[in-house]
């Protein structure tokens, strides 16, 4: 990322609009900014080149596909220098949607989605805890997700 890139008000509007709807046509954003669609296209390209925007994706609601359990697991490793091997094994567990190497008592924090408690128990006991170098784990089930958002610099937090 270009650390010297300074966001201006138009960049903030563009980011806000794209965060809320990544499919929003550039022409609609251009109308809100009072510029041409080409100008918005150029700005988005500059934001991508600066590493501020690094892609777009379609978000899928896990429960709509039957994945009603969201859980977080703290993983403790027998040897922290085996981190890469553990991550490689975790990549094969399709229920895992996020993985973080963290500080504190545990080494790794993962987020996963399962169909139900039986599925979660199977993934924990028969897949994750059988990965070499995982010494122990702690699992927490999310009861609700009242806040979920993208981070970005608002004009009052520059």
**Is residue 154 predicted with pLDDT exceeding 70?**
no
Report the SS3 class of residue 72: strand
The model's confidence at residue 111, banded by pLDDT at 50, 70 and 90, is very high
pLDDT tier for residue 2 given thresholds of 50, 70 and 90 = low
Which architecture, in CATH terms, is 62-142?
A: 2-Layer Sandwich (3.30)
Contact between 6 and 152 under an 8 Å Cβ cutoff? The reply is no
Distance CA 50, CA 55 (A): 12
Q: Where in the chain is the domain with CATH 1.10.10.10?
A: 9-49
What band does 157 get if pLDDT is binned at 50, 70 and 90?
Answer: very low
Residue-level pLDDT at 48? 94
d(Cα 81, Cα 117) in Å, to the nearest integer?
32
Q: Is the pLDDT of residue 93 over 80?
A: yes
Give the contacts of 103 (CB within 8 A, at least 6 positions apart): none
Mean pLDDT of 124-133: 98
2-6 long-range contacts, CB within 8 A, separation 24+: 2/49, 2/50, 2/51, 5/46, 5/47, 5/50, 5/52
pLDDT of 1 over the 90 cut = no
Average pLDDT over residues 38-65: 92
Cα angle 146-102-134, degrees, rounded to a multiple of 5: 105
Delimiting residues of CATH 3.30.70.920 domain(s) in the chain = 62-142
List the CATH code of the domain at 9-49: 1.10.10.10
């Amino acid at each position: 990322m270009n650390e010297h890139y300074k966001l201006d008000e138009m960049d903030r509007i563009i980011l806000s609009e794209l965060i809320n709807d990544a499919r929003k046509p550039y022409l609609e954003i251009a109308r809100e900014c009072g510029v041409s669609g080409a100008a918005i296209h150029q700005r988005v390209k500059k934001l991508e080149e600066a590493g501020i925007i690094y892609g777009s994706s379609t978000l899928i609601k896990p429960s709509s596909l039957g994945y009603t359990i969201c859980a977080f697991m703290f993983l403790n490793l027998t040897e922290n220098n085996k981190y890469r091997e553990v991550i490689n094994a975790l990549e094969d567990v399709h229920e895992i949607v996020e993985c973080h190497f963290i500080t504190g008592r545990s080494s790794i924090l993962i987020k996963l989605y399962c169909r139900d408690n039986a599925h979660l128990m199977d993934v924990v006991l028969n897949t994750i805890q059988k990965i070499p170098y995982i010494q122990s784990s702690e699992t927490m089930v999310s009861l609700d997700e009242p806040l979920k958002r993208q981070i970005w610099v608002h004009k009052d937090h520059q």
